[in-house]
Amino acid sequence: MFESGVVAIVRLNDYSTVDDIVGALVAGGIDAVEFTYTNPAAGAAIASARTAFPDSVAIGAGTVLDPETARAAILQGAQFIVTPTVNPATVALCTRYSIPTVIGAFTPTEILLAWESGATFVKVFPASSVGPRYLKDVLGPLPQVKLIPTGGVSVENAGDFIRAGARAVAAGSNLVDAATVAAKDWSTITERAKAYVAAVATARGA
């Protein structure tokens, strides 16, 4: 999962162009897209994207705070669940349905708790507060944990996070922002996606 090494986070007030957004990201080489539940239309967006792109991209639910929301998202077709914080009950629910999880954590204690709870990946958030060196330091005593930094990940620093040991990176407004979507400038989103994927690929090959 997350073969491209880039997870696109779509956090918008308007999900009416969901299929165009996902199409632009897929054209740029991204194979995982997360729709956040900060918008109650996230479930419908997930269902639409799964119908439009049944095989070329994994569609996930983000900002999932509890197992109830996780189950609702899974029923809408979510293929992975992302949380902002550690909630063992949510991990357990997803494990029951064989759904991969990206569990948000920050401190080493939280990171280990998420991993011991059964997280598939641990989301280090906000990554911009600590930078790539933090991941390298955490992975020293915890090399088994699969980390995905989120928050402030740019094209310029994505490779640094990968070289520090991240399994993938997640990007939000630096990749998909409201103004570009409102302008329906899908080619710009595609070019951003290509740049992220290329940065990760270069870092993985270093």
The pTM assigned to this predicted structure is 0.96
Taking the domains of the chain in order of start, what are their residue ranges? 6-204
At residue 97, the pLDDT reads 97
Band of residue 77 on the pLDDT scale cut at 50, 70, 90: very high
Catalytic residue list contains 194: no
Catalytic-role residue among 34, 68, 116, 191: 34
Active site residue 116: no
Residues near 61 by beta carbon (within 8 Å), at least 6 away in sequence: 34, 35, 36, 37, 42, 43, 46, 69, 70, 73, 74, 76, 78, 80, 81, 82
Q: What is the mean pLDDT of the chain?
A: 97
pLDDT digits (tens, 9 = 90+) for 101-126: 999 999 999 999 999 999 999 999 99
Question: Given 3, 68, 110, 123, which residue is catalytic?
Answer: 123
Condensed to tens digits (0 to 9), the pLDDT of residues 124-179 reads 999 999 999 999 999 999 999 999 999 999 999 999 999 999 999 999 999 999 99
pLDDT single digits (tens) 14-52: 999 999 999 999 999 999 999 999 999 999 999 999 999
Which ranges of 28-87 would DSSP assign to H, the alpha helix?
A: 42-52, 67-75
Total residue count of the chain as it appears in this document: 206
Query: Is the pLDDT confidence value at 206 over 80?
Result: no
CA–CA dist 159, 32 (Å, integer): 18
Which CATH code of 3.30.200.20, 3.20.20.70, 3.20.20.105, 1.10.1750.10 fits the domain covering 6-204? 3.20.20.70
* Residues of the chain above pLDDT 90, percent: 98
Give SS3 for 45. Answer: helix
The predicted structure's pLDDT at residue 1: 80
pLDDT at 182: 97
